[in-house]
Amino acid sequence: MPLAHISMRAGKPEGYRKAIFDGLYRAMRETFSVPDDDQFMIITEHEAASFRYGVTYLGIARSDDLVFIQISAMNTRTVEQKKALFRRIVDLLGEDPGIRPGDVFVNLLEGAKENWSLGNGLAQYA
């Protein structure tokens, strides 16, 4: 039950944003065993003055096409699954909408199952 927050510079067309949603969901399905219809994602767009990043931090060249992807998930995946997720996200977003690998920044936040309520005031996984 991942929850994805995607932040990017404002101005990309709807199809570009849809491709990010689709690629991210596909990557999570393929590497994290995310079930069908488990799509909880938000894109926020920011003007240049509200979007800052290290242009060459760790020797990675970044541009204004940088996309921050923060995924909150239950702490049930292996290190291998996490590495596969990161790689698959980069591959799929490179295919469509054409984001360079250096412009894909992913942060995975993990928490215990009992910390999630998916609606109705219930802790469905506790």
Q: Give DSSP secondary structure letters for 51-105.
A: ----SSGGG----TT-EEEEEEEES---HHHHHHHHHHHHHHHHHTT---GGGEE
Q: Is residue 121 part of a domain?
A: no
- Beta strand 41-46 with 104-111 is unpaired
Q: Is residue 123 part of a domain?
A: no
Q: Is residue 126 part of a domain?
A: no
Q: List the domain range (segments joined by +) for residue 86.
A: 3-115
- Among candidate residues 2, 13, 35, 101, the one labeled active-site is 2
Q: Is residue 10 part of a domain?
A: yes
Q: How many structural domains are present in the chain?
A: 1
Query: Mean pLDDT lowest for which of 1-5, 35-39, 80-84, 116-120?
Result: 116-120
Q: pLDDT tens digits, residue range 91-120?
A: 999 999 999 999 999 999 999 989 888 899
φ and ψ of 64, to 5 deg:
-70, -5
Q: Is residue 48 part of a domain?
A: yes
CA dist 126 and 116 (Å) reads 8
pLDDT of residue 113: 86
Q: Is residue 106 part of a domain?
A: yes
CA dist 101 and 62 (Å) reads 9
CATH value at residue 14: 3.30.429.10
Active site residue 2: yes
pLDDT mean over 9-16: 98
Q: Is residue 28 part of a domain?
A: yes
Q: pLDDT tens digits, residue range 61-77?
A: 999 999 999 999 999 99
Dihedral, 98, 101, 87, 44 alpha carbons, nearest 10: -70
